[in-house]
Chains A and B, each alone.
Chain A
């Protein structure tokens, strides 16, 4: 693996125009990854889902060099019924950036490497991403500007993909009192690839980010996504994760609530069938006074599926008046389904209100009986209950347009 990594790294550097400074950073990250490799079950953070095992069993001839050839763009893939700005990645290469709904002097797109957003030594996959990502983009939203339309980031893989591993890196810089809505939408036509995505968000005072991640298309890829947030005073980060399609995906969200009155929300849905293994890992770090966090994760698990939720609330000793809440619920529909949770609290301040709950079990037979006694058949009753169970999470979405879009995608009825 090491030899392959080194040659592919060299090809990546040669084919792009990185400065000497950047190359040094990238080399460091590469060595860090070579040292630690893909995380396995022995790593506490990967206890429930073993990516090392998954990659070994699914992907043979893992190679990393992405030739970055231009791809054809098929406009049919665009999401209907919602006017939106676009960034389109095809096989890890940006094919199109389209911000036609916005005022051009209110935002900037930079492609200069920026040390400030460096995320080294978070974990080995982020290091791998830093080392091998071919292009770096940063989207900067200027002060007092709210994006008029949401930004949809299309992550498309096709069967013409030239490497087994693609690394995508985007940074978002929201200046004070700005607002941005993002939908992360993936369409996978390739098979058995490892997709590694890192986003880094930094929010100034009063800024708002709404981050919706939709993994809906059935595919046989292994995916890892790491989103990092740094929040200043009174800023808000809203996250929604819809985890349906990939055969293996882990979404990781790390929020640093640095400023007073800042808040973070993470809501997630797993609705799985057919041998899928999904995980959401969150760590919300309350680092200042009067910060707030709320997390709600629900799973519906079918045949041979596995979902895991690792959520951590950390409260620093000066972060008094913290309000942290976390709830994870799961319905197991099959005897071969497995739900794992590790809701963790690490608290060093006394004047806080932190709680978590976790519940898992089967569908409530009493409720099914009640509905059937009203004339529905078993399957309808089951569907109705699951519908209601998941709708609860979707209703937490604060943007109405996007909420309706997600309801349509999921086929949820009100």
Chain B
């Protein structure tokens, strides 16, 4: 039994859970739980009302069911909507006051929380279950006027900014999971870059689900004011549990005139075991609004974890000359399922978008690219280029491509290409001839296949992602 456990651990090295006393909201979803969350976070009245409004709407909404990966019905009343480490009731002022057990957890995860590790040069906001536990490098950032903190803190300190932008990209009238998040979101990161500032370092958030039976509902809001630039990274892990856990986050990006936001994700939630038991349901809503002229939003994602991934990071290109980009690698193995892609909504003139999606499926898994390119009547001179390639390993898995293309403007161009194939025998043979074993050869070829996307990641992440690509495919060859 124990051997088996160790064996399992080898496969997903972030599968441990940390024993920490936690405060939980009563199980279930109702107005009282929402009030409880709002109360414990000492939120202003307008936010509570906003949450309740979302909850009212949620009651009449139906869960969508058009997605490819089907899952057993989620009992929303059987979940904890708030779980926080007990020692956090009064938020620690500095890292020294942090629960050592927490610090240890993040050390295991390899996240540079301690400021000593200055060399890493990444400012981190760590979210543990439902609350943000620590944010590093605050001083350096504050000097430039950059706000990087947990969203709860932002609600207290910068209510005007939050009030202005919260829900401006993902309104409470959105789809089921986004509305659920609006009603019960617990914490997340908040970033504001003042006009003309180029953020001197990568900002990063690390999400971790620890407690069982909890859903994680974080909300991230990033605002890049005129002429600013920010690169933001997001990583996530969860302990191994037999039951499925829900993760329904909302991420909103707003780019004003001439601003640029680069958002990178390396998603490595627990994918479930070999037989598809357990794992995270990753139902995330990510949407960016290029509100200003010449603004740019770029999404990069490496999706290797989760039992089911179901998300479409999107760009609304409202400002003239704005640019949207989407780079994605999605890898599914064993019984994982993914239905992911993007939406590019062209509204402004001269808007451009680019989509590069690489899907790899192995084992018994199922991968779907689903995307929408919509060029509206007034988006003169817009263009889109889409490329989505899939690689299949074995005949027990599936790879699907479902693009929706809508062109309503005669001055605009859309080009879409997709291919599906397997790793060619020739390439494998060539590598093996030069002394690589079959596993390494596949790793090399897959890395080449993904290169276009990996290149888009910041250096620190690229290395991690490359390793992750290798690990995710282990045992799928031969």
Contact = CB atoms under 8 A, between A and B. Distances in A.
Given A347-B420, A348-B395, A354-B419, A332 B409 contact: yes
B96 interface: no
B414 A360 contact: yes
Nearest to B399: A347
B390 A347 contact: yes
A203 to B, nearest CB: 27
Interface string B371-402: 00000010000000000001011111111111
Interface in B392-434: 392-422
Contacts of B402: 342, 344-345
Contacts of B410: 332-335, 337, 361-362
Nearest to B386: A358
Given A44-B66, A355-B420, A360-B413, A346 B407 contact: no
B420 A358 contact: no
Contact of B405 (A333, A337, A341, A351): A341
Contacts of B409: 332, 335
Nearest to A337: B410
A334 B420 CA distance: 34
Nearest to B362: A350
Contact of A345 (B393, B401, B414): B401
A356 B413 contact: no
B419 A359 contact: no
B417 A317 contact: no
B413 A361 contact: yes
Interface string A305-331: 000000000000110100000000010
A399 B412 CA distance: 36
B406 A340 contact: yes
A346 B390 CA distance: 11
B275 to A, nearest CB: 19
B420 A360 contact: no
A343 B403 contact: yes
A400 B413 CA distance: 34
Contacts of A357: 415-418
Contacts of B412: 361-362
A320 B395 contact: yes
Interface string B3-26: 000000000000000000000000
A382 to B, nearest CB: 13
Contacts of A352: 392, 420-422
Contacts of A353: 420-421
Given A355-B418, A356-B418, A338 B399 contact: no
B349 to A, nearest CB: 13
Nearest to B367: A347
A226 interface: no
A349 interface: yes
B414 A361 contact: yes
A339 interface: yes
A340 B376 CA distance: 12
Contacts of A355: 417-420
A356 B398 CA distance: 17
Contact of A359 (B377, B392, B406, B414): B414
A359 B403 CA distance: 12
A349 B395 CA distance: 5
Contacts of B419: 354-355
A344 B369 CA distance: 10
Nearest to A316: B395
A348 to B, nearest CB: 5
Contacts of A343: 401, 403, 405, 416, 418
A348 B400 CA distance: 8
B355 to A, nearest CB: 13
Contact of B398 (A320, A337, A340, A347): A347
B407 A338 contact: yes
B399 A345 contact: yes
Among B405, B409, B419, max chain A CB count under 10 A is at B405
A350 B407 contact: no
Contacts of A351: 395, 422
Contacts of A339: 405-408
Nearest to A335: B410
Contacts of B400: 344-347
Contacts of A356: 401, 416-418
A317 B396 contact: yes
Interface in A345-402: 345-362
Contacts of A347: 390, 392, 398-400, 420
A350 B393 contact: yes
A360 B395 contact: no
A350 B401 contact: no
A358 B413 contact: no
Given A343-B416, A357-B418, A358-B414, A335 B377 contact: yes
A317 B407 contact: no
A353 B418 CA distance: 11
A342 B407 contact: no
Contacts of A332: 407, 409-410
Contacts of B405: 339-343, 358, 360
Interface in A264-305: none
A330 B395 contact: no
Contacts of B395: 317-318, 320, 348-351
Contact of B403 (A334, A358, A360): A358
Contacts of A359: 413-416
Contacts of A342: 402-405
Contact of B420 (A318, A335, A354, A362): A354
Contact of B415 (A335, A344, A358): A358
A350 B422 contact: yes
A58 B393 CA distance: 51
A11 B45 CA distance: 67
A342 B415 CA distance: 13
Given A334-B410, A343-B403, A350 B392 contact: yes
A358 B416 contact: yes
A111 to B, nearest CB: 42
Contacts of A337: 408, 410
A320 to B, nearest CB: 7
Given A330-B407, A333-B410, A349-B395, A344 B422 contact: no
B371 to A, nearest CB: 10
Nearest to B366: A348
Among B390, B407, B412, max chain A CB count under 10 A is at B407
Among B390, B399, B410, B422, max chain A CB count under 10 A is at B410
A151 B77 CA distance: 64
Nearest to B420: A354
Contacts of B406: 338-340
B347 to A, nearest CB: 15
A306 to B, nearest CB: 9
Interface string B258-296: 000000000000000000000000000000000000000
A307 to B, nearest CB: 10
Nearest to A334: B410
A241 B249 CA distance: 46
B412 to A, nearest CB: 6
Contacts of B418: 343, 345, 355-357
17 contacts: A317-B395, A333-B410, A336-B377, A338-B407, A338-B408, A339-B408, A341-B405, A342-B404, A343-B416, A344-B401, A345-B400, A345-B402, A346-B398, A350-B422, A352-B392, A359-B415, A362-B412
Q: 3 nearest interchain CB pairs?
A: A361-B413, A332-B410, A350-B392
Given A337-B408, A338-B407, A339-B407, 13 more contacts: A330-B407, A332-B407, A338-B406, A340-B404, A345-B390, A347-B390, A347-B400, A347-B420, A350-B394, A357-B418, A361-B407, A361-B410, A362-B413
